[in-house]
Each structure stands twice: as structure tokens, then as C-alpha cells.
Amino acid sequence: MTPVLELKGITKQFPGVLANDHIDLTLNKGEILVLLGENGAGKTTLMNILYGLYQPTEGEIWVEGKKIEVHSPTDAINAGIGMVHQHFMLIPVFTVTENVMLGDESTKAGGFLDPETAAQKIRHISNQYNLAVEPSAYVKDLPVGVQQRVEIIKLLYREADILIFDEPTAVLTPQEADELFVIMRELVNQGKSIIFITHKLREILDVSDRIMVVRRGKIVGETTPQEADQNKLAAMMVGREVQLDLEKSPAQLGETVLSVTDLTVTDDQKQITVDNVSLTVQSGEILGIAGVQGNGQTELVEAITGLRNPIDGKIEILGNNITHATPRQVTELGVAHVPEDRQRDGLVLSFPIYENLVLNTYYQEPYAKGVNLYYDRIYKNADQLIEDFDVRTPGASTPVGSLSGGNQQKVIIARELSRPIKFLVASQPTRGLDVGSIEYIHNRIVKKRDDGCAVMLVSPELDEIMKLSDRIAVMYRGKIIAVLDANKVTKEEVGLWMAGINPNDSKNNNRESANNQKI
Amino acid sequence: MASTIIQRKKIETVSPTRKLVMGIVFVVISGLILLFFALNSEAEWITTFVMNPGGLERGLAGDWVLPTSLTLYVLVGLTLGMGIYQLLRGFGKQTNAILGVVVALFVFAFLTWAAGGKSLNLGGMLSSAVLLSVPITLGAFSGVLCERAGVVNIAIEGMMLMASMVGALVGSITQSLIIGLLASIAASVLLALVHAVLSIKYKINQIISGTVINIFSAGMTSYISAKFLQRYEYLNGPPIFPRFPIPLLADIPIIGPILFNQNIFVYAMFILLIVLQVALFRTRWGLRLRSVGEHPKAADTLGINVFRTRYMAVLLGGVVAGIGGAFFTLGSVGRFDEMMTAGKGYIGLAAMVFGNWTPIGSFGAGMLFGFADSIATKLSILGTTIPPQFMSMAPYITTMIVLAGIVGKGQMPAADGEPYEKE
Amino acid sequence: MTQDNENKHNFNKLNHVAEEVLADSTKKKSIWQTMLIPALAILTGLILGAVIIISTSEEVYTGFQQSFGAGLSASWSAVANSYSSLFKGAFGDPAYIIESLRSGDALEIRRALNPFLESLVVATPYIFAGLAVALGFRAGLFNIGVEGQLFMGAIAATYVGYSIKGLPGFIHMPLALLAGAAGGAIWGFVPGWLKAKTGGHEVINTIMMNWIAFRLTEWLLTGPMTRPNAGRIPVSPIIEKSAEIPQFFKAPIRFHLGFFIALAVAYLIYWLLFKTTWGFNLRTVGANPRAAKYAGMNIARNTIMAMTISGALAGLAGANQVLAINRSMAIGLSSGYGFDSIALALLGNSHPFGVILGALFFGVLRNGATKMMVTTAIPIDIISILQALILMFVAAPAIIRAIYRIRKPKAGDEAVVFAGSWGGNK
């Protein structure tokens, strides 16, 4: 049988980076092919080539045994290829119908829109594939899970046969992810073929028919869920046996550093995202905040670091009430913050390294006296920290924007950890980094803990939470639904908590076992 | 886009502060009418509004004769009632429209008071307001086209200025209205093309690109004017589009003379209003244009050519601005003077913001601003002590108030002003 | 510390010092590279200006009617005449200067140098206005309202200049200048405050403030501040002698203290931006407001301060014109300084020293063009066209690179000077 899709020798050269290196890939009809690889391995580049958003340097694309040229998304759509992008390609102020038909509109004579016909077709697709959605609703009013359904309907509306899902579970709860997997299975049962891109080991064994592993732009292996297990896949993904655990001594607990009581916080839309949360962090321990992205972690961190004003409750650092303090006041109490989006929030990319290293201390001695800045001291500080934290750069005056992601993060880590801090808030400190940088940063954080610093680690990556934390607080729908001892809890249990399910609750046992079966 | 998965509780739906503020505003306006106008007028005053613009013979209507004091007290009551209703119940989504009504009543109260014991040609005032609003509204339409596609265009002023000069020059040489108008449009479209290339292809900051065009137009038109138009009179005497009463419609009393006995620029404005409103929100063309202004990448992934759509929108914006520019020389004055657009393009931009990036809203705002201009020119005739300059400031101040969100935030296209980067 | 490290440290320090000289913390380029694009932009602008001069010259058309050669020579003489009279108008006639130097007569020398001194006079308001725009850019704000702030500064300085009587000059003149700064500052503060507190975009608000300023000025000059017995002409009373910024030489040489005040203010702004915590704050907020917020900086306060100071600088431009040159306020005070200064701020890379260079260039251009208008009948508006073209090329270096086939610099080397949209506080 001819494969529905064949990629032959796809190569993509970006200036200085070989993103895809002669990739060969086949997709058979009615299968779910998982493309597994770390962030930056080249998966998304490959799919963007397939979808016509990038042009390959060399290589061929064959669909149903015919060579095709894909110069634009239009070509891809015409060839029956559709893509659910990592960041949804939806227009919030348009209705579901408008979003779905955009580019392929139903019209009456003279180019006038005919939303009713399109809505009819959408309802039909909804029923056929079990994708409940209201065509006349505005996308901005829909929950993320439903928005993703709209994205899928967009593809089916165009009668795509090859569906690409790019990291579709990143924004979903485990529960919603499970629902998505059911939908994906339904789609292949009805004859569609799916490429599923992910770097999450946990989910692929459940859902895939075949697994291809990408590393540094190359296909490094192919396997099936029957042959593989998580450790083997992890090794293939990063190129060596990975020590999934980290040697660390037991926590030496000290005084209470952070104390949060009955905290309620709203987001920019004035909706409650942190709901009556209480927690404490003591010196010498790492408290991991586990949870799917968007369950209030961002707002919790913003409230603690003074970036967001809570509407109710109390936050104390070492006995100081900082509920309505400014970020600067919080920083001056010895709090360090590694923000979740380093390029947007943590660095000024056009500034040189030396200025970024004093971004929140520039006004203090020894860098400044009164309004006068002492640049010689700022340079000296930079040279020292570059050495201490192993930042790979031509010099301290290099703009941070021209460093690699790992080195950018090291600049932030250097800035935050080099100060005499009492409390560290680290939000997704290793997001998108290479394994080497991840290990380095993890070690630094553990070392800070061992020095008696209190650490709050926020991460949607369960592995990272399990590896570093002494205690784990699970955040779900704005609430802390469990605080667990990291040494006494399994990954699976935390995973269930993240989905809002109490694993000790007997009536959920059915669901748990259902999860373990292949869908 | 962090977090929408949680079934979050809405704290409130309509801001109670805004409801309260608007209610107070209504009551304050009511108080102003009472204090400055009603209590300040003599009991025996009679206000006479003449409803026929001078020089017209069609669609005549009788004068409105109103007892000044009584009318004012009625207006006080009406506005107060709306204020109280707003405070107690709230008009909800209609609040902005009601605000418009209240402001209109205030203006009416002002006119009733100012013309107390005298007569005022309200018809003429409205008729000239329509005429004055033409360049503002067309400028706003041009802005709507560009910005709905995601291109900020502060170059409308420059485009209109260039169009008015070229219209005068070509109109004078050819003595043809149509060729003059077409030349105006061509000049404006050329500048729009520059703006499009700079901001879409070269991705330079769109405000800087607009500034380039505004400086260039100011320089170029003044240069040509000083070098040729002022020296050779025959180069600066284009014909003017005559008044063209529309059969039947022009005979309707009051409305006829004001709306349907004007020149083609006014009709072009009405036609564009309808065409744009329908095209933007009811057609495939409009859906695609708006998608490019909201989320160009999403549009791109659906096979819509973002660059082409934006070019088209900006060039069409150029056409509309060109008509607006031609109005100055071929539609009203009949000669070109340096800097004769006098900031109408910028006010057009303000009208667009005020009108919430829609053709209908821009039209309303344009009319309002035109009316303010019209009152400003009539103030001295009425013998009030208010300096006309203050009246001319009203549109600018209103726009700033609207921008500040006191009247509720508008729905600006999400990708407005952001160049599209295709990887 | 090992010897190696020691060396590395010293080497790094040298690097830092080199940057110091450049005094631009956002870029690491040689001075030559920094100047290349602006220089080519100016050159290209002048060439295109020549094309416009040729294509609007009647002699050229009559020349081409005779023969191709005659046309070419007419074109050449049109351009040569224009630009040489522009040059002479801006810098003085070299022959006359040499002759005057030979004669050794101080008065003659001053007269010979006057065109250049006059260029400095014309450049002075450009320095202030350019600084206003540049400071805004550094703070991530687009102050398109310099024109209005300039008017408000001028009107405030005028009022203090004529209404207060009997003060000694060393108090009155600075007081009037300060009043000018305050007038502009208020006009900058309002949009700054609106941006910080409501998110209302400063571009639209400053445009609106411009027109409010024009109308307000019009009213003041025909009403409360009108010159007695001036009829209905919108003009203010003449300022007191004590409020005047002193000129160094006798008329007609207008070269005055304001030029040096402008240089001092430029240095002050440079120091503020690059040597103080306040400037660090401002530049961070301008370059990445979110990172600034995370680092504990107060964005709202910065925005308001930046707009206020920017307005004050623009106000000084207006005050300078009234106190040193015009001695009274009239409607036609500014010839588009507000918009031209956007071009020169970009030309000067939003750096105070760059602004001085840009302002000198624009001063030379405008002053020269005034003389050119007299001798060759080319309207002075030609310089607005040149300025627009230069602005375009500076803002879109890609065009310049395409014309002159210059290689693209490394990524990140050419930071976008300013990126913003209507969105307000995004």
C-alpha cells in the first residue's frame, strides 16, 4: 500500500543552524505517528515545511504516491494536509463559523458571506467526529479545549486527510488531553492519518501506533509503543541514558520563609484564577508547584513577586507582609524570581550582558550612589558572573539577544542567584533548554536549597517537579488541591492529582485503570 | 493567552464604576443645561430655527418656533431622567448610544439658548456641517480600510494634501473635473503605495512611515505651489463640482436640502459608508481583510495572502483619501492653498478611533466633528462670548476622552500597526 | 586570580572603555559603521533632491528643447547653482572668508562667517526638539506632539517675558526659559499621564494636543495675550529686554547664547540617559517594559516622567525662538520643527550627540535653503522634501543597503529603533 505521505531527504538550513538534516519519514493511512524530540530538535520546523510555511533547502514531499510542491499553506491544504498549531491560529473576535470558513468561505452571489451554510457543515462535522461546538459562539468566549476542537474542525472542513498536531497537549489538562486522544483515535478510525508532535514521554505510549525520534534535526530511531518504554525513549531522545533522578541530600528544614494565607487573585480579565490558596515554604526545601499550565500558577507567582495585586488574603516573607508590596520591595526582602518567559520578562535583549546582570540591582551600592551609575563596577560584576556561571559569550558587552537560550537563562540565573537571597521563585526555569543546561540549572537550584534558601519551583513538567521537589503542591483550577511528600508519592499519583482526581478515592479507580489501557 | 481552561468565576460583567461615572455625567450635563441655559434665559424669549439653508428652492420647510425657556426645561428633564435611569438601572450596552443622545441634547440646548430671542438658520448650519464633515469622514474611512487590515496610517493628512494640490493643478490644466479627480486619486494612491511598501515590505515603524509621507507632502505641495501655482494663476483655477440635487429626495423638507442637495463628494461619502459597512462585515473580502488585521499568521495558515491583502487595503485607503483630498480644491474652494487640509486628516483619524474602527461609527463621529466646526464658525454670529477656538477644540478633547476609555474601550484590530513577519 | 584571567579582565575593560567612547549601550559597532547608513541616507536624499530640482526647472526643459547636450548642461547648472548657493548660504562664501581673514578686520571676519553662525542659530531649536523626540524614543514613546509642546513653551516664555517687569536679566531670562520648559512639560505630561493611567496611545493623544495647542495659542494671541493696538492680528506684546537671550554680536549677526544652552542641555540629557540610574530605568522601560516591570521598575512613573521631560525640551525649543530671535509670539512661530525633529532624532540614532549632529545638519540645510531661495528661486520647501527622503532612508536601511549593495549586518546588530503600535500598554 502506498503511504499517504512520504518525506524524502528533507533538509532545512537556517543561517548557522541545520534544523533538518535529510529527514525521511513515511505516514501510513489510518495511523497515528508520533514525532518525538526535545524542544529545538527540529520537529516543528519539519512540520512547517510540510505545511508550506517554510521552504526546504532540499528534499521532496510525496502525497499518495505523487510528488507535490508545497510553497504555501494553500498548496498544503489542497494536498489534504492540515495542521493544528501549537499556538492556536484562531481570531478571538470572530465566531467559530467565521474562523472555520476563513479562506474557504461559503458565499452567496457577489461574494456575500453565507454563514448559515458553513454552520450547517460545521454541525455535520461536529456530529460525525463527536466534536461538540456551537458555530455562532465567539472564539474568545470558549475554553481552550473547545478552541482546540475548532482548530480540528477547521482541518476537517477543508477535508484534510493528513492531520498534524503540534504539541497539542501543552495547554490541556490531563483530562482534556485524554479527550483529545479519544478524538484522535476516532479520526484515524474514520480514515484520517495523524502526525502527533510531542516531547512528553508520558502520553505517547498510550496514543501512538508508531514512534519516530528526532534529535538535532535527524531521525535517530523508530519504534513502536509495544517495544519501547519511557526510559528507552528518553535515551533515544537525548542521545544517552538519562539519569532521570538527581542525587540530593534530604532537606534541612529551617524557618518559614514564605507564608501565603487565603490568597485570592484575579487575572487581567478580572476572573478569579487563584482561589483561596494557602501554603508555606521553609528555608532549605524546594516546594514544587505542579499543575497543567493555566491553572493559576502564573497569577500565584505574580502575586508573590509583587507583580499582581491580590484581591484577598495575605502574603508574608520572613514575617513581612508583602500582600500589596511592589516588585522592588519584594526583591529587596531577598526574593529572587526566574520568570517563566525569559525573553519577554527576564531580559532586555537589546542590552548588553553587563546591564542585564544588574537589571534589578542597578540602583544599589556598589553599582550606584544617588543617581550616579558606576559602570566600571557593573563591568567587573559582569566579568565575574560570566566566569562563575559559565555563560558562553564573546564578552560582557554582547547583547543578550544574540546568546543561545541556555546562556540567556544562565544570565538570569547568575543575576538572581548571585545575590544573598532567602527565597527563590523559579517558573519553568528549564523550558526549551538543552539537556546540559537543564542539568546545570537544576544543580544550581539544589545547591541554593542546600545553602538554606527556600525555593518555590513552578513547572508543568512533571519530571522536573518529581526530580527537584521535597514537597509537591498540586494546583488545579486555582486551588491547591494537595500537598504531597515528594519521597512518598509516585509520578502517576501526581499526574492524577493534576487532572483533579484524588488517586486515593476508590470510585476513581476505574478511571485510573482505563487510563493505563491503550485507548 | 495563558489560562482559559478553568471554569472561572466572573467577578462582574459590566464595570459598576463606568455605570456610575456615566450616570453622573448625564446628571451633570442636565445640571449644566439648567444652570447655564435654562436659568439664564428670559421667560419671554422665543427661539426661531430657520430650517432652510440659504439659496435653495427645493424641499422648503417652515421655521421651528420654540419658547426658549420651556424647551430648555424640557431638555433638563429629559437628560436628568436618563441620568437617574442610568444610576438606578443602567442602560447596559446602550450606554454609549445614550451618551451620544445626551450630548446631542446638550448641543441642542446650547443652540436654543444662544438663539433665544433671535433666529438661527439651523438648516444652513446642518447643511454646512455635512459639507465640513466630508473630508473628515473620508479620512476616517481611509483609516478604517488600512487599520482593519493591520496597517496604521497617519499619512492620511499627507495623502489628502497631495491629492488636493494635484487635483487643483491637473483640474486647472485640463479644465476637467473628472480628470482632476482621477489625478487626485492617483497622487494619493501613489503615496499610499509608498506607505505600503515601507511598512509592509520594509517593515519600518508605520508611524515613522506615515511621518515621512506627511513631511514629504507638506514639502512637495508647498514647493510646487510656490514655484508654479502662485506664479501662474491659470495653473490654480480648477472648476468646482456643482451642487447636484437628487431628484425627489431633494424635495423632502428639512432632510432634502441638508443631505440631498449637495455635490457629489457628499454622495460619495454616503455611498462609501454603505459599501464599506457591508463589504467589511458581510462579504468574503471583508472577512479576509479583517482577519489579516486581527491575526495575520492565522490568515496565512489558511492560505490568505497577508501581504497582498494589506497592500490592497492600503491602496484602497489611498483612493478614499484621494477623494477626500480632491474635495478641498475641486469640491469646495476651487484653488489650492498651502497646507489647506489644516489637519483634517488627523481629525479623520480621531473620528476613526471615536467610531470604533467601523465605517458607520466613523461617519457618526465625522458628522459630529463637522457639526462642531460648523458651530464654531457661527458662534460669533450668534453673539456669544465663547471663543470659537474652544468649539474647534471639542473634537480633539472628545477623542482624547474616548481614548482614555471613559466612554468604554473600543475594539481596535489586534494586529494593528504590527508588521507581519513571514518566517 | 591567574595571569590569564587578569589579562582577560584588562582586555574586557578595554572593550568597555571603547564602548564608553561610543556611549551607546545598546550597540557594539564602530563609529564608522554607525555613521555609514545616515551618511548614505543624506547623500541619497541630496541626489533625489537634485532630481526634483532638475525636473521642476524651466531652464532644463527649454534646454532639452534645443538639444540634448544643452539640456544636460542646463540640468547640471541648475543643480550646481542650487547646491553651491545652499552651501554658501550655510557656511559662507569661501573666497569672502579668506579675503576677510587676510584683511584681518574683525568685523569683516564676523560678517564672512555669519552664514555659518546663522546655521547654528537655525540649528538651536532643532537640538532641543530633536532631544525631545530622542528621549521619547529611548523611553519607548513616540512623541509626535513636539510641535504643540513647542507652542505652549513659547507662549509661556512669552508671557513671563513681557508681563514681568523690572527684573535683572540674569533672573528674568532664565525664568522665562524655565516657564517655556514648564509650558511644554505640561503639554507632555497630559499624554504621558493618559498613557500611563488609561493606556490611551500617545501618538493620537499628542496629535490631538498639537491641535488644541494651536487653537489655544490662536485664542490667547487674539484675546488675553494680544498686543495692544495690533488690531485683530494674532501677535503677542514684545518681551522685555531683560528676558532676551543675549546675542553675542551686533545685528545682523544673530548668533546667541541659546546655542550653548542647547549643547549643555544635550550633555545633560546624555548624562541622564547613560550615566544615571534614572536613565537606566528609562531605557529599560523603553526597550522592554515587561522586563522593567519584573525588575521592579515603575513603568507608569517612567512614562509620565519621560513625556514630561520630553515636553519640557520641546518647550525650550519654543522659548528659545521667542527669547532669542522673535522677541514676541505669533502664529507662524514654528516651521514644522516638531515633525522635522522626528527625522533628525532617527538620523542621530536617538542619541543626544547624534541629535546635535543631526540638528546641525538640518540647521545648515534650512539656513542654506533660505539663501538658495533668494538666489535661485527654489522654494525653501525643498528641504522638507529632503528631510522626508532622508528620514525614509534612515528608517529603512534596507533600501540604502539595496542601493549601495552593503552587506546586511549580523542579526541583532541593527536593533529596531522603536517599535510600537496603537495597542498602548501591551
3-class DSSP state for residue B270?
Answer: helix
Q: Are B413 and B294 in contact (CB under 8 A)?
A: yes
- Given a cut of 90, whether residue B89 has pLDDT beyond it is no
CA nearest to A464, candidates A488, A484, A491, A444:
A491
Predicted confidence at residue C30, as pLDDT, reads 61
The string over C277-307, giving b where at least 16 C-beta atoms fall within 10 Å of a residue's C-beta and e elsewhere, is bbbbbbbbbbbbbbbbbbbbbbbeebbbbbb
The nearest alpha carbon in chain A to C20 belongs to A375
Residues in chain C predicted with pLDDT less than 70, given as ranges, are 1-31, 408-426
Please compute the mean of the pLDDT values over residues B168-179 and round it to a whole number: 94
Which ipTM score applies to this complex? 0.84
Q: Which residue of C has its CA nearest to A304?
A: C294
Query: Do residues B292 and B306 touch, judged by C-beta distance below 8 A?
Result: yes
Window 63-102 of A, Cβ < 8 Å to B:
72-74, 77, 83, 85, 87-94, 98-99, 101-102
Q: How many CB atoms lie within 10 A of CB A321?
A: 11
Q: What is the largest CA-CA distance in chain B?
A: 75
| Per-residue confidence (pLDDT) for residue A518, from 0 to 100 | 35
With an 8 Å Cβ cutoff, are C284 and A351 in contact?
yes
Question: Which of C26, C276, C412 has the CB atom closest to A372's CB atom?
Answer: C276
- CB neighbours of C279 closer than 8 A, spacing ≥ 6? A373, C271, C272, C273
Q: What's the CA gap between A306 and A375, in Å, rounded?
A: 28
pLDDT at C364: 93
CB spacing of A379 vs C275 below 8 angstroms: no
Say yes or no for a CB contact (<8 Å) between A103 and B1: no
Residues of A in contact with B1 (CB under 8 A): 87-88
- Residues of chain A contacting residue C5, judged by C-beta atoms under 8 Å apart: 387
pLDDT digits (tens, 9 = 90+) for C225-253: 888 887 778 889 999 989 999 888 887 88
B124-403 folds as: ABC transporter involved in vitamin B12 uptake, BtuC (1.10.3470)
Interface contact flag, B284 A111, Cβ < 8 Å: yes
| C132, amino acid identity | A
Please tell me which residue of chain B has the smallest CA distance to C337.
B215
CA distance B93 to chain C (A): 21
pLDDT tens, position by position, B270-327: 999 999 999 999 999 999 999 999 999 999 999 899 999 999 999 999 999 999 999 9
- Chain A residue numbers with beta carbons less than 8 Å from the beta carbon of C270 are none
Chains that touch A (3 or more CB pairs under 8 A): B, C
Give A399's DSSP letter.
B
| Distance (Å, whole) CA B134 – CA B345 | 11
Collapsed DSSP state (helix, strand, coil) of residue A227: coil
Q: How many angstroms separate the CA of residue A497 from the nearest CA in chain C?
A: 31
**Which of C194, C384, C417 is closest, CB to CB, to B215?**
C384
Angstroms from C16 CA to nearest CA on chain A:
7
Q: Between A337, A346, A351, which is nearest C26 by CB?
A: A351
Q: Minimal CA–CA distance to C118: which of C353, C383, C365?
A: C365
User: What is the Cα–Cα distance from B20 to B54, expressed in whole angstroms?
Assistant: 44
Note down pLDDT in tens along chain A; length 519 residues.
688 999 999 998 877 678 888 999 999 999 999 998 876 678 888 888 999 888 899 999 999 989 999 998 899 999 999 999 888 899 999 999 999 999 888 888 888 999 999 999 999 999 998 888 999 999 988 888 889 999 999 999 999 999 999 888 877 766 778 889 999 999 999 999 999 988 777 778 888 999 998 888 888 888 888 888 777 777 777 665 555 556 778 888 889 999 999 999 988 777 788 999 999 999 999 999 998 777 889 999 999 999 999 999 999 999 999 999 999 999 999 999 999 888 889 999 989 999 999 999 999 988 999 889 999 999 999 999 999 888 888 889 889 988 888 889 999 999 999 999 999 999 989 877 777 788 888 999 999 999 999 999 998 777 888 889 999 999 988 899 999 998 888 877 887 788 777 877 744 444 444 344 333
- From CA A514, how far away is CA A509, in angstroms rounded? 8
Note the pLDDT of residue B284. Answer: 94
What number does CATH give the domain C120-376? 1.10.3470
**CB within 8 A of C58, min separation 6: which ones?**
none
CB contact under 8 A, B414 and A92: yes
Size of interface A-B (CB pairs under 8 A): 121
Question: Using a CB-CB distance cutoff of 8 angstroms, which residues of chain B are in contact with residue A90?
Answer: 295, 298
- Å from A371 to nearest chain C CA? 5
Strand partners, A479: A476
Residue of C nearest to B198 (CA): C396
Q: How far does the CA of residue B314 sit from the closest CA of chain A (Å)?
A: 20
B249 or B56: which leads in pLDDT: B249
Chain C CB contacts of B399 under 8 Å are 204, 208
- With H, G, I as helix, E, B as strand and everything else as coil, classify residue A146: helix
Cβ–Cβ of B393/C336 closer than 8 Å?
no
| Residue A373 to residue C280, Cβ atoms within 8 A | yes
Alpha helices by DSSP H, A258-417: 297-304, 327-332, 353-356, 375-388, 405-417
Structural domains of chain A in order of their starting residue, each with its CATH number = 5-238 (3.40.50.300), 246-334+420-519 (3.40.50.300), 348-419 (no CATH)
Q: C-alpha grid cell for residue B2?
A: 495563558
> Looking at the complex, does the CB of residue A266 fall below 8 Å from at least one CB of chain B?
yes
Residue C411 in contact with partner chain A when CB distance is under 8 A: yes
Q: State the average pLDDT over residues B136-154.
A: 95
Distance CA C56, CA C381 (A): 13
Task: Sketch the domain layout of chain C as residue ranges.
Answer: 32-91+380-407, 120-376
Q: Which of C6, C8, C24, C280 should one mutate to test binding to chain A, selecting the residue with the greatest count of A CBs within 10 A?
A: C280
Q: Which residues of C touch B393 (CB under 8 A)?
A: 211-212, 215-216
Q: What is the DSSP letter of B54?
A: T
- Determine the angle formed by the axes of helices B359-382 and B388-403, rounding to 10 degrees: 160
B154 contacts C203? CB cut-off 8 A: yes
Q: Which residue of C20, C273, C288 to mutate against A (max A Cβ within 10 Å)?
A: C288
Residues of A in contact with B9 (CB under 8 A): 271-272
pLDDT tens, residue by residue, A24-74? 999 999 999 999 887 667 888 888 899 988 889 999 999 998 999 999 889
Nearest CB neighbour to B219, from listed C205, C223, C381:
C381
Q: Given this model, what pLDDT does residue C25 score?
A: 39
Which residues of chain B are in CATH 1.10.3470 domains? 124-403
Residues in A touching B288 (Cβ below 8 Å): 102-103
Interface contact B295-A51, CB threshold 8 A: no
Percent of chain B scored above 70 by pLDDT?
Answer: 93
Which 284-303 residues of chain B touch chain A by CB within 8 A? 284-285, 287-288, 290-291, 294-295, 297-303
Chain C residues with beta carbon closer than 8 angstroms to that of A344: 288, 290-291
| Angle in degrees, CA A196, B3, B403, rounded to 5 | 125
CA–CA min distance B73, chain C (Å) = 32
Give the A window 146-165 contacts with B, CB below 8 Å: 147, 154
Residue A196 grid coordinates: 502527533
DSSP state of A345: I
Residue A62: enclosing H or E segment and its boundaries?
A: strand A58-63
**DSSP SS3 for A210:** strand
